[in-house]
Amino acid sequence: MSLDREEPNYYGAGPALLPTSVLQQAAKDLINFQNIGIGAGEISHRSKAGVSIIDQTKEQLTKLLDIPETHEVFFLQGGGTTGFSSIVANLTASHIKKTGKIGTPYYIIDGTWSKKAYEEAERLGYNPKILVDTKKIDGKFGTIPSIDKWDIPSNLNEISFIYYCDNETVNGVEFRNFPFDKFPNVELVSDMSSNFLSKKVDVSKYGLIFAGAQKNVGIAGISIYIIKKSLLEQANVEELKKLNVPIVPIAFHYPTVVKNDSAYNTIPTFTVHIVNLVLKNLIEKGGLNVQEEENIIKSNMLYDILDKYPNVYKLPVSKDVRSRMNIVFTIKDGSLDNEFLSEAEKKNLSGLKGHRSVGGMRASLYNAVTIKSTKLLCEFIEEFAKTH
Amino acid sequence: MSLDREEPNYYGAGPALLPTSVLQQAAKDLINFQNIGIGAGEISHRSKAGVSIIDQTKEQLTKLLDIPETHEVFFLQGGGTTGFSSIVANLTASHIKKTGKIGTPYYIIDGTWSKKAYEEAERLGYNPKILVDTKKIDGKFGTIPSIDKWDIPSNLNEISFIYYCDNETVNGVEFRNFPFDKFPNVELVSDMSSNFLSKKVDVSKYGLIFAGAQKNVGIAGISIYIIKKSLLEQANVEELKKLNVPIVPIAFHYPTVVKNDSAYNTIPTFTVHIVNLVLKNLIEKGGLNVQEEENIIKSNMLYDILDKYPNVYKLPVSKDVRSRMNIVFTIKDGSLDNEFLSEAEKKNLSGLKGHRSVGGMRASLYNAVTIKSTKLLCEFIEEFAKTH
C-alpha cells in the first residue's frame, strides 16, 4: 500500500497543507504506534504512550516559542469559534478574582474573525466594548487604524482584557507591531490561529495566545492555548452565580483543563500527535527563525508579482498590514475569476478561491507551502497577467 | 512503508480498538484522499470532498439505525463531557420554547458518567433533580433499581427532559429495557457513548441520543447526535436572558449546528472520515443485527467463564443489567491483580485494568473486538483461575 504522493501545490486557507513526511509518519502511527501493537488513535489518553504525546507536544512548543515559566500550555478541542466562548468566560472569571469586579472586555475588530469573537461575547451577555473597528473608520477591512483613532477608556482598570486577532485569515490583514506599551497591566488575548508558529513571538507580553491547529500545526480538531499562569486564578462557581456571570462548560474551564494536563476529558490523542510531529519537523528544520525568514521570502515574492501588474490585480490590503499567510487579491476584471481558477487548476495549483464572504482570490502560504510551490504560483500569476 | 500489523488483542475501554482494515484505508486517505492530491485532513470542510464525508456519514448512520424522518443527525467536537453541558442548555431552551417554563431536568444516576452529567447540570445552574440514584438505594453502583423506587414527580409536565446513560463504561451497567411507557410525552436523552451501534435501537422513542466516537465508531474528537427535529425549536437569546437562563456557546447551539450541516465551525473532517469508514465496514459486515448477535455471543462467553470460577472472580454487577460492552470483574484475592495483568500482557492481551476510580479489571468487548480475540481472553481467564 503506497503512502507516496506528488508534492501538492495547495494554497487553501485551512484546513491546510501539511508536510508529506509528517503525514506519512502519522499514517504509520495510526496503525501501530511505537510498536506497541495498536495505533495512536486507539491508545488511552491516560496510558504512558498517550501522556507522552501530550507532554512532548508541550515541550516542543515551549522550546520553539521560548515560552517563559510564567506561562502554561494546554489543549482544547475545537478551534476559533469554541475559543470565542471560553475565552471571555475564563478571563472574566480571572478579572473578578483579581479585582472583585466583572470588568469590560475590549475587542479590536479588524476582520471577520475578531468580529465573530466580539459578537459571541455580546451574545453570551458579557457586554463587550469595541476598542477599534476598522470598517467604521475606513469603510472596509484591509487596514489597522492608527492608535489615535482607537476608543481607549481613560481608566484602563475597567478593561478585563483586550482581544485581537493577529492575522485575519479572511481579510489578509496581519498585525506587525501591536502597541503593547499603550496598555500596561492590561491582559492581552491574541487569536493567532492562522499565523501561529509562522514567526517569533514574545509570549511574555500576552495573557493568552490561542490557535486552532488546522493552519500551520495540524489537522482540525484541536487548539493550542498559552496562558499566563496568574489567569488560572479565577472566581469560583458560587462567586460567579452571585454576580450573575455565566458559568463556562467544565470541559472549557481552563483551571480544570490545566490541572488535568489537558486530559480532564478525552483528548483526541491522534490529532495532538500530528501537532507533535509538525513541531518536531519544524525544530529539525531550524525553528522559527528559519521558518519566519522563509515566510517573508514567500510572501514578498507573491506580493511583488501581484504589485507588478496593477492593471490586472488589485490588492485590497494596506501595505503595512499585509498578511504573510493569507494573500488576498482580486482580478480587476471580475469576469476573469473563473478562468483564473480553472487555468490554475490545470497547472495543479489549487485552493485559490477567496472566502465566500469576500470573493476574489486568496493564496495561503502557510509553513508547509514551500518556496518552490510559491514560485510556481508566481509564475502562473505572471503568465496570466501577461496573457490577459 | 508497511501498514500491516498483527491483529491486536486489546480490551481497553476507550479510545478503543478499530478494525485494522479501516485504519489502513484511513492512513492512505490521510496522504491522498480520493486521488485529489491532498489528504482528508487537509481538505476544506466546505469543499465538495469535505461535504461528501459529512453527508455519507449521516446517510450511513441513518441506514444502520433506521433513523426516522422525525430525527436529525449532527456532529459536535468533544465527547461525553462537552455533551453534558450542551444538552442541558439546548433541551432547556427547547422546553422554554414549547411551554414558556424553564422546567426541571431529571437524571438517572446509575454510574460514574450519569453522575458527572448531573453534576454539570447543577454546576451550570439548571437545578436538576435525581429520578433515581443507584448508590443511594443499593449502596453501590451495579444495579438499576426497580421503577417503584424511582422518585417520579406527580406532574410529568414539569420535567424538561429525562437523562440517562444507556451503558455505564466504568461500572459495567447497561440498560436492557428502559421503561418508556412510564414517561409519555417526556423527552428522553440517552448517552450511548459506549454501546452506540452495538445493538438495534428504536430511535423514535428518544428526544436525543448522543455518543462519543471513541468506543465503537472512531477515534476521539467527535460525537454523534441524533435529535428529534422538534427539539431544534428553541427559545432565543433574548428570551433566555429574560428568564436568566444561561446561553450555550454558539458552537454547541444545536439549531445553528444543524442549520449549517455540522460545519458552522471547522469540523474535524479526518476524524469524521474515520467514522464514515467504520460505518461502511459495519454495513458490509451485515449491519446491526449481525453485530448485536456477535456482541451477545462475546459477552456471554466471557461472563460464563467468569461465573464458572466464583472462588477466583467476583462480578459486582447484577445479572439483569450486565453490560455487553464493558465486563467488570475483580479478582477475589486482590493481591493477584498485578500477576493477572502481567500474565495477560505476556500473552499479548492488554487493556484489562479497571478504571482508576473503581479498580479491579475491565474487559471491553467493543464491536472491533473479534470472537477469536474474546476466546483468547476466555482461555487465559480460565487458565489463570485453574492455576491460582
Q: In the 3-class helix/strand/coil scheme, how is chain A assigned residue by residue?
A: CCCCCCCCEECCCCCCCCCHHHHHHHHHHHHCCCCCCCCCCCCCCCCHHHHHHHHHHHHHHHHHHCCCCCEEEEEEECCHHHHHHHHHHHHHHHHHHHHCCCCEEEEEECCHHHHHHHHHHHHCCCCCEEEEEHHHHHCCCCCCCCHHHCCCCCCHHHEEEEEEECEECCCCEECCCCCHHHCCCCCEEEECCCCCCCCCCCHHHCCEEEEECCCCCCCCCEEEEEEEHHHHCCCCHHHHHHCCCCCCCHHHCHHHHHHCCCCCCCCCHHHHHHHHHHHHHHHHHCHHHHHHHHHHHHHHHHHHHHHHCCCCEECCCCHHHECCCEEEEEECCHHHHHHHHHHHHHCCEECCECCCCCCCEEEECCCCCCHHHHHHHHHHHHHHHHHC
Do the domain assignments include residue A25? Answer: no
What does residue B362 show for φ and ψ, rounded to 5 degrees? -150, 125
Residue B1 predicted with pLDDT over 80: no
> What confidence score (pLDDT) does residue A1 get?
61
What does residue A290 show for φ and ψ, rounded to 5 degrees? -65, -45
Instruction: Calculate the dihedral angle through the C-alpha atoms of A218, B226, B280, A351, rounding to the nearest 10 degrees.
Output: -40
Beta-carbon contacts of residue B151 (< 8 Å; ≥ 6 apart)? B129, B130, B131, B132
Scanning every residue of chain A, which has its alpha carbon at the shortest distance from the alpha carbon of B12? A44
Do the domain assignments include residue A12? Answer: no
Set of chain A residues whose Cβ sits within 8 Å of the Cβ of B265: 78-82
Do residues A206 and A198 lie in contact, with contact meaning Cβ atoms separated by under 8 Å? no
Nearest to A362 by CA among A333, A337, A329, A385: A329
Q: Hey, which residues does A132 pair with through a beta bridge?
A: A108
Nearest to A142 by CA among A371, A348, A356, A328: A328
Check CB contact under 8 Å for B14 and A43: no
Residue after which a domain boundary falls, among B283, B315, B347: B283
Instruction: Report the CATH number that the domain containing residue A246 is assigned in CATH.
Output: 3.40.640.10
Q: Which amino acid is at A14?
A: G
Would strands B313-314 and B326-331 be described as parallel, antiparallel, or unpaired?
Answer: antiparallel
- Residues A93 and A134 reside in one and the same domain: yes
- Residues A178 and A191 reside in one and the same domain: yes
Check CB contact under 8 Å for A252 and B251: no
Residue A381 predicted with pLDDT over 90: yes
Mean pLDDT, rounded, for A194-217: 98
Residue after which a domain boundary falls, among B231, B262, B283: B283
Check CB contact under 8 Å for B221 and A271: yes
Task: Domain count for chain B, please give it.
Answer: 2
Q: Based on the number of CB atoms within 10 Å of its own CB, is A286 exposed (0-12), middle (13-18) or buried (19 or more)?
A: exposed
Set of chain B residues whose Cβ sits within 8 Å of the Cβ of A348: 37
- Residues A229 and A378 reside in one and the same domain: no
What average pLDDT is seen over chain B? 97
Cα separation, A354 vs A332, in Å, equals 14
Q: Which amino acid is at A303?
A: Y
Q: Which amino acid is at A292?
A: E
Do residues B303 and B369 lie in contact, with contact meaning Cβ atoms separated by under 8 Å? no
Do the domain assignments include residue B18? Answer: no
Do the domain assignments include residue A155? Answer: yes
Complex-level ipTM beyond the 0.90 threshold: yes
- Residues B199 and B300 reside in one and the same domain: no
Do residues B18 and B9 lie in contact, with contact meaning Cβ atoms separated by under 8 Å? no
> What does chain B come to in residues?
388
Set of chain B residues whose Cβ sits within 8 Å of the Cβ of A118: none
Do the domain assignments include residue B15? Answer: no
- Residues B257 and B360 reside in one and the same domain: no
CA A287 from chain centre, in angstroms, equals 18
Do residues B312 and B361 lie in contact, with contact meaning Cβ atoms separated by under 8 Å? no
Check CB contact under 8 Å for B222 and A220: no
Residues B181-223: pLDDT tens digits?
999 999 999 999 999 999 999 999 999 999 999 999 999 999 9
The Cα of A176 is separated from the nearest Cα of chain B by a number of Å equal to 27
Instruction: Give, as one character, the DSSP assignment of residue B220.
Output: T
Q: Residue B233 has which C-alpha cell?
A: 425549536
More confident residue, A359 or A269: A269
> What confidence score (pLDDT) does residue B236 get?
98
Mean pLDDT, rounded, for A9-38: 96
Cα separation, A102 vs A334, in Å, equals 49
Residue after which a domain boundary falls, among B265, B283, B301: B283
Q: What percent of chain B has pLDDT over 90?
A: 97
Nearest to A81 by CA among A252, A335, A299: A252
> What confidence score (pLDDT) does residue A56 get?
98
What average pLDDT is seen over chain A? 97
Cα separation, A253 vs A257, in Å, equals 6
Q: Residue A135 has which C-alpha cell?
A: 470598517
Set of chain B residues whose Cβ sits within 8 Å of the Cβ of A216: none
Check CB contact under 8 Å for A123 and B6: no
Set of chain A residues whose Cβ sits within 8 Å of the Cβ of B251: 78, 81-82, 85
Do the domain assignments include residue B309? Answer: yes
Interface test with B, best of A22, A38, A48 (most B CBs within 10 A): A38
Mean pLDDT, rounded, for B362-377: 98
Could you list the residue range(s) of the whole structural domain that residue A59 is in?
48-283
Do residues B186 and B167 lie in contact, with contact meaning Cβ atoms separated by under 8 Å? no
- Residues B45 and B168 reside in one and the same domain: yes
Question: Residues A201, A205, A209, CA angle at the centre, nearest 5°?
Answer: 65
Residue B133 predicted with pLDDT over 90: yes
Mean pLDDT, rounded, for A305-326: 97
What does residue A107 show for φ and ψ, rounded to 5 degrees? -115, 135
Scanning every residue of chain A, which has its alpha carbon at the shortest distance from the alpha carbon of B24? A31
Residues A115-136: pLDDT tens digits?
999 999 999 999 999 999 999 9
- Residues A308 and A242 reside in one and the same domain: no
> What confidence score (pLDDT) does residue B357 get?
83
Residue B156 predicted with pLDDT over 80: yes
> What confidence score (pLDDT) does residue A356 get?
83
Check CB contact under 8 Å for A269 and B43: no
Q: Residue B16: which of A42, A77, A237 has the nearest Cβ?
A: A42
Set of chain B residues whose Cβ sits within 8 Å of the Cβ of A18: 39, 41-42
Check CB contact under 8 Å for A266 and B85: no
Q: Residue B265: which of A27, A79, A124 has the nearest Cβ?
A: A79
Check CB contact under 8 Å for B264 and A350: no
Interface test with A, best of B2, B29, B77, B264 (most A CBs within 10 A): B77
Residues B300-354: pLDDT tens digits?
999 999 999 999 999 999 999 999 999 999 999 999 999 999 999 999 999 999 9
Check CB contact under 8 Å for A123 and B250: yes
Cα separation, A175 vs A202, in Å, equals 14
The Cα of B138 is separated from the nearest Cα of chain A by a number of Å equal to 28
Question: How far from each other are the two terminal CA atoms of chain B, in whole angstroms?
Answer: 44
Residue B74 predicted with pLDDT over 80: yes
CA B256 from chain centre, in angstroms, equals 23
Distances from the Cα of B174 to the Cα of A99, B3, B79, B320, B336, angstroms = 48, 36, 19, 9, 28
Nearest to A330 by CA among A115, A140, A110: A140
Report the b/e string of A211-247 with b at 16+ CB within 10 A.
Answer: bbbbbbbbbbbbbbbbbbeebbebbebeebeeeebbb
pLDDT-derived band at B379, boundaries 50, 70, 90: very high
pLDDT-derived band at A2, boundaries 50, 70, 90: confident
> What confidence score (pLDDT) does residue A358 get?
84
Check CB contact under 8 Å for B214 and A266: yes
The Cα of A263 is separated from the nearest Cα of chain B by a number of Å equal to 11
- Residues B164 and B55 reside in one and the same domain: yes
Q: How many CB atoms lie within 10 A of CB B364?
A: 24
Per DSSP, the residues of B146-176 read -GGGS---S-GGGEEEEEEESEETTTTEE-S
The Cα of A317 is separated from the nearest Cα of chain B by a number of Å equal to 24
Question: Residues B295, B217, A267, CA angle at the centre, nearest 5°?
Answer: 125
CA atoms within 13 A on the CB side of B10: 22
Set of chain B residues whose Cβ sits within 8 Å of the Cβ of A10: 37-38, 42
Check CB contact under 8 Å for A37 and B5: yes
Instruction: Report the CATH number that the domain containing residue B345 is assigned in CATH.
Output: 3.90.1150.10
Long-range contacts for A53-61 (Cβ within 8 Å, ≥24 apart)?
Answer: A53/A269, A53/A272, A53/A273, A53/A276, A54/A261, A54/A262, A54/A263, A54/A267, A54/A269, A54/A272, A55/A261, A56/A276, A57/A272, A57/A273, A57/A275, A57/A276, A57/A279, A60/A276, A60/A279, A60/A280, A60/A283, A61/A224, A61/A226, A61/A279
Q: Which amino acid is at B249?
A: P
Check CB contact under 8 Å for B10 and A220: no
Pure H helices in chain B: 20-31, 48-65, 80-99, 112-123, 134-138, 237-242, 254-259, 269-285, 287-308, 337-346, 371-387
- Residues A111 and A177 reside in one and the same domain: yes
Do the domain assignments include residue B5? Answer: no
- Residues A120 and A239 reside in one and the same domain: yes
Nearest to A292 by CA among A174, A197, A156, A224: A197
Instruction: Give, as one character, the DSSP assignment of residue B38.
Output: S
Cα separation, A159 vs A161, in Å, equals 5
- Residues B337 and B189 reside in one and the same domain: no
Cα separation, A54 vs A62, in Å, equals 12
Do the domain assignments include residue B251? Answer: yes
- Residues B175 and B306 reside in one and the same domain: no
Q: Residue B43: which of A15, A30, A84 has the nearest Cβ?
A: A15
Instruction: Calculate the dihedral angle through the C-alpha atoms of B252, B258, B260, B261, rounding to the nearest 10 degrees.
Output: 120
Nearest to B373 by CA among B1, B3, B6, B2: B6
Q: Hey, which residues does B130 pair with through a beta bridge?
A: B107
Q: What percent of chain A has pLDDT over 90?
A: 97
Set of chain B residues whose Cβ sits within 8 Å of the Cβ of A252: 249
Cα separation, A342 vs A328, in Å, equals 18
Cα separation, B15 vs B18, in Å, equals 9
